[in-house]
Amino acid sequence: MTPDEYCQDKAAQSGSSFYYAFLFLPPEKRRAITALYAFCREVDDVVDETSEPSVARMKLAWWRSQIEDLFEHGKAEHPVMQALQPHVDPFDITAARLHEIIEGMEMDLDQHHYHSFDELKVYCRRAAGVVGELSASIFGYSDPATLAYADQLGLAFQLTNIIRDVGDDARRGRIYLPMEELERFNAQPEDILQGSHTDAFEALMRFQTERANQQYRDALAILPEADRRAQRPGLLMAAIYHALLNEIARDGWHVLNQRIALTPIRKFWLAWKTWVTGGRGLVRRLSP
């Protein structure tokens, strides 16, 4: 199996909405974004699938060494890093940004909750915003403001993930919803950890959803028109993630004991429609 095939297999197995963005790209960009996604999956799996924090830290340290091997010596051992290597210069993939992604994974080892939304945004930046910037560089842009759009769209994606995964995270002993907001809505951490859906929890989730919706609007408002066509893969993902957010709200935020997801055929339909329209419909729907 070649490094590119390894990354392709990793992406296909995930079932992530990210995968649908790859389908419409030309070969070189598709290989680059697939390798980037595979890197994110690898380091994320270290935290999610390793029960002992000290072992997870050692594994993340090893991945840091792989980044250094790639950028300082031009070669690395892992097939994901080998797949990334030819795309580093053409698409401005930097060691600093890859290290920042790992910093986000390390936060999962150090923190099981966040006091304020400002604290949570630091995590979201590392877990998703920087991935958005790297992705935007691969898709192509002419206006630097596109990187700010990509960072903000990454935040919207991560907020959607947090809303979707409240139950999964609680079963790992984690609550990403800001503690001061739980207190504001009188939602008890113990209820969330025990999977108890209360009126207070529903009010809290309604607030989280409204903020995520606003985040999508804020991100798309700063996307330069000159780069909208090049950034269609990101808009494609935005269409899927935003539809998921709406689906969760329609279901009444019953996310503590089930995982709400869109079907693959619906994801593909949203992806195709967004691609052929250049994302105009999505931008129009989410315009302030």
Of 104, 79, 159, 97, the closest CA to residue 134 belongs to: 97
Q: Which of 66, 82, 110 is the last residue of a domain?
A: 110
Which residues share a beta bridge with 113? 175
Same domain as 283, residue 144: yes
Q: The CATH number of the domain where 283 resides is what?
A: 1.10.600.10
Instruction: Tell which of 110, 131, 154 closes a domain.
Output: 110
pLDDT for position 15: 65
Q: Which domain holds residue 81?
A: 1-110
Residue among 243, 233, 241 at smallest CA distance from 275: 233
On whether both 285 and 169 belong to a single domain, the answer is: yes
pLDDT, one tens digit for every residue, the chain (288 residues): 899 999 998 888 766 777 777 788 999 999 999 999 999 999 999 988 877 889 999 999 999 999 999 999 888 999 999 999 999 999 999 999 999 999 999 999 988 899 999 999 999 999 999 999 999 999 999 999 999 999 999 999 999 999 999 999 999 999 999 999 999 999 999 999 999 999 999 999 999 999 999 999 999 999 999 999 999 999 999 999 999 999 999 999 999 999 999 998 999 899 899 888 887 878 777 776
The predicted pLDDT at position 32 comes to 96
Return the amino acid letter for 29.
K
The reply to whether 116 and 103 lie within a common domain is: no
Statement to judge: residues 87 and 218 lie in one domain: no
Q: Which of 89, 110, 131 is the endpoint of a domain?
A: 110
Is residue 209 located within the same domain as residue 98? no
Residue 279 pLDDT: 79
Cα angle: 159, vertex 162, 165; to 5 degrees: 150
Q: What pLDDT is recorded for position 249?
A: 97
Question: Are the beta carbons of 33 and 21 closer than 8 angstroms?
Answer: yes
Query: What percent of the chain clears pLDDT 90, i.e. is strictly above it?
Result: 81
CA–CA separation, 42 and 83 (whole Å): 13
**Residue whose C-alpha is closest to residue 43's, from 106, 135, 122, 116:** 106
Sequence length of the chain is 288
One-character DSSP codes across 43-85? HHHHHHH-SSHHHHHHHHHHHHHHHHHHHHHS--SSHHHHHHG
Residues 103 and 116 placed together within one structural domain of the fold: no
Q: What is the pLDDT of residue 228?
A: 93
Helical axes 95-110 vs 130-139, angle rounded to 10°: 150
Q: What is the pLDDT of residue 110?
A: 86
Q: In the prediction, which pLDDT does 48 show?
A: 83
Assess whether 167 and 250 both reside in one domain: yes
Same domain membership, residue 128 and residue 6: no
> Do 70 and 187 fall into the same domain?
no
What span, in angstroms and rounded, lies between the C-alpha atoms of 47 and 42? 9
> How many degrees, rounded to 5, is the angle at CA 94 between CA 18 and CA 102?
65
Same domain, 128 and 211: yes
Residue for token pair 């792989």: 66
Are 195 and 241 found together in one domain?
yes
Please indicate, yes or no, whether residues 100 and 174 belong to a single structural domain of this protein.
no
Q: What pLDDT is stored for residue 288 in this prediction?
A: 62
CA distance 25 to 8: 14
Q: How many domains does the chain have?
A: 2
Cβ atoms of residues 201 and 111 within 8 Å: no
